[in-house]
Amino acid sequence: MPITDQGRKFRHEWKIEITPSDRIAIRQRMMAVAKPDKHAVGGKYLIRSLYFDNAADKALREKIDGVNMREKFRIRYYNGDKSVIHLEKKSKINGLCNKLSAPLTAGEAQSIVDGRIEWMAADERGLVRELYAKMRSQGLRPRTIVDYDREPFVFGPGNVRVTLDYNIRTGLNCTDFLDVNCATVPAGDAPIILEVKWDEYLPDIIRDAVQLPGRRANAFSKYAQCRIYG
């Protein structure tokens, strides 16, 4: 049965730092055994996220310190399409991951960026109300833009998702992620990240396809990588 907590389904996740040649090899293997994500354009899409943290860098410190139970909030859209925006909360418990999501309009996302948040208190979406409460109680605020390219693949058995993430960029001090003039820059010497996510089991065909000599799963965080400049 799926691993759950109060109705929430948790998934297994591997993150592996790989090289450009590894990326080519994994892509070829995935094209042979899995299907490209139907939302990809030309085999990939651009992800732009706005992450939240407080003045004490709670989310960042919990990640760096390896806190067993942690969460982070972000707002995200794909391929520059502002007609589909989502507020997301990603939780991690005992190495397992869960993501909750709620849709936002561009106007709602912009109001959160601008600090106009009183409307969130009575919103019908529970995740919106939760972010509002934690913006008030924990001091969460928009902190960092994270951009990157993703090549996604899916495999039905085990509900497997394999992605290749690269060209990770940071918005530095700009948090207006709906502004096309908000430029991003490379987040240092960021690696390419192979991510593998699945439910109850990882089929052998995928397990074998993502194996790379000398590569091991680690706790890489794009958000932490994009905070290297402050």
For each of the domains in the chain, give its residue range(s) and CATH number, in order of start.
3-225 (3.20.100.30)
What SS3 class is residue 224? Answer: helix
95: left (phi over 0), alpha (psi -120 to 50) or beta: left
For residue 44, the 8-state DSSP code is B
Mean pLDDT across 30-34:
97
For residue 163, what pLDDT is reported? 98
Q: Percentage of the chain with pLDDT > 70?
A: 97
Give the pTM. 0.93
- pLDDT tens digits, residue range 166-213? 999 999 889 999 998 888 999 999 999 999 999 999 999 999 999 999
- DSSP character string of 157-213: TTTEEEEEEEEEEE-TT---TT-TT---EE-SS--EEEEEEESS---HHHHHHT--T
